[in-house]
């Protein structure tokens, strides 16, 4: 069992986890908020490990040195497959960790993995096709209709969440920017357009605090406008 009595500085804690559990790995990187210096008491250690052999992909969570550590383990022969999954989904979370995190250990083969990750990130996601754009327009149009006529309060809040997340994803994808999940999605959206990020945040506050959906509807319609606006009748798959 790992030592848990004292919370070490995150990089030192991650190095000790790596040395104890994966001393012969080709690459180990600390990602997430613990790597960027934006961590707090609730943050955990996100560690990605590349081994020469082993399972295609495994994931484990341990407690060590005062931290919860979430460890992602890939093999040299399998990482490309999982990188490709992230590229196709426009959400290259593994590449972000590998390319942007704090390197704990790296051999020459590990540096090749990091070079692959940087190449993916620099290339960007594939552009949306016209049918992809139509699908986003249709989904957001339906969500806006649902927002104006919820049968229960719970339905309204779930719809608000779907509008916010789908809107962020659409704007990023339409402009060939990578997406993310949860708080990372909003960070990427706000990073792409701070003005739109501020407007979306204000719109969400208006509906949560004042039950006023007008700003959320407006910002969504404005985002759709350059791509043909809302779409319902005439949509085909």
pLDDT at 55: 74
Please check whether residue 5 lies inside any domain of the structure.
no
Residues 91 and 152 placed together within one structural domain of the fold: no
**Which residue, 123, 149, 182, sits at the end of a domain?**
123
Across the chain, mean pLDDT equals: 94
> Is residue 89 very low, low, confident or very high in pLDDT (cuts 50, 70, 90)?
very high
User: Are 194 and 160 found together in one domain?
Assistant: yes
Same domain? 141 vs 104 = no
Taking residues 151-155, what's their average pLDDT?
A: 89
Tally of structural domains, the chain? 2
Q: What does the pLDDT read at residue 32?
A: 86
115-138 pLDDT, tens digit per residue, is 999 999 999 999 999 999 999 999
Quick: pLDDT tens for 205-216: 999 999 999 999
Say if 119 falls within a structural domain.
Answer: yes
The H helix count followed by the E strand count for the chain is 10, 5
What is the torsional sign of CA 26, 19, 39, 85?
positive
| Whole-number Å distance between alpha carbons of 17 and 9 | 12
pLDDT beyond 70 at 151: yes
Strands (E), 121-198: none
What distance in Å separates the CA atoms of residue 66 and residue 87, rounded to the nearest whole number? 34
The 10s digit of each residue's pLDDT in 58-83 is 999 999 998 999 999 999 999 999 99
Among 123, 148, 165, give the residue marking a domain's end.
123
Burial 132-152 (b: 16+ CB within 10 A, else e): ebbbbbbbbbbbbebbeeeee
Q: Which residue range forms the structural domain that includes residue 72?
A: 10-123
Co-location of 78 and 158 in the same domain: no
Reduced to 3 states (helix: H, G, I; strand: E, B; else coil), residue 28 is strand
SS3 6: coil
Average pLDDT over residues 149-164: 92
Please report the DSSP string for 70-138 in residue order: EEEEEETTTHHHHHHHHHHTT--HHHHHHHHSEEEEE-HHHHHHHHHHHHHHHH-PPPPPHHHHHHHHH
Question: For residues 130 and 231, what is the distance between their CA atoms, to the nearest angstrom?
Answer: 13
> Does one domain contain both 69 and 164?
no
Quick check: 32 and 9 in contact, CB under 8 A? no
Residue 225: the pLDDT is: 98
CATH of residue 64: 3.30.460.10
Q: Is residue 232 part of a domain?
A: no
pTM of the complete model: 0.88
User: Is residue 237 assigned to a domain?
Assistant: no
> What does DSSP assign to residue 225?
G
Q: Domain ends where: 106, 123, 140? A: 123
Within-domain flag for 87: yes
Q: Are residues 214 and 175 in the same domain?
A: yes
Residues whose CB falls within 8 Å of the CB of residue 127, separated by 6 or more in sequence, listed in order: 176
Q: What confidence score (pLDDT) does residue 1 get?
A: 46
Please state at what angle helix 108-123 crosses helix 79-88, rounded to 10 degrees.
Answer: 10
Per-residue 3-state assignment (H helix, E strand, C coil) for 40-88: CCCCCEEEEEEECCCCCEEEEEEEECCEEEEEEEEECCCHHHHHHHHHH
Torsion of CA 96, 99, 100, 105, to 10 degrees: 120
Does one domain contain both 56 and 149? no
pLDDT at 3 over 70: no
Query: So what's the pLDDT on residue 5?
Result: 59
Q: Please tell me whether residues 63 and 112 are part of one structural domain.
A: yes
């Amino acid at each position: 069992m790992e030592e848990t009595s004292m919370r070490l500085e995150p990089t030192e804690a991650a190095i000790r986890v790596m040395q104890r559990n994966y001393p012969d790995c080709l690459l180990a990187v600390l990602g997430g908020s613990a790597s960027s210096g934006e961590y707090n008491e609730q943050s955990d250690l996100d560690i990605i490990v590349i081994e020469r052999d082993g399972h295609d992909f495994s994931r484990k969570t341990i407690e060590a040195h005062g931290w919860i550590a979430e460890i992602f383990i890939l093999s040299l022969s399998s990482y490309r497959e999982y990188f490709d999954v992230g590229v196709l989904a426009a959400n290259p979370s593994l590449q972000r960790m590998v390319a942007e995190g704090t390197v704990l250990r790296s051999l020459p083969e590990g540096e090749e993995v990091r070079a692959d990750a940087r190449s993916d990130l620099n290339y960007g996601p594939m552009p949306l096709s016209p049918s992809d754009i139509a699908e986003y327009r249709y989904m957001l149009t339906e969500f806006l209709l649902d927002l104006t006529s919820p049968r229960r309060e719970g339905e309204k809040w779930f719809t608000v969440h779907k509008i916010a997340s789908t809107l962020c994803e659409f704007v990023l994808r339409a402009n060939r920017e990578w997406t993310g999940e949860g708080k990372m999605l909003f960070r990427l959206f706000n990073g792409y357009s701070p003005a739109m990020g501020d407007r979306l945040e204000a719109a969400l506050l208006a509906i949560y605090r004042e039950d006023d959906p007008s700003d959320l509807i407006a910002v969504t319609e404005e985002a759709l406008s350059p791509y043909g606006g809302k779409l319902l009748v005439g949509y085909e798959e």
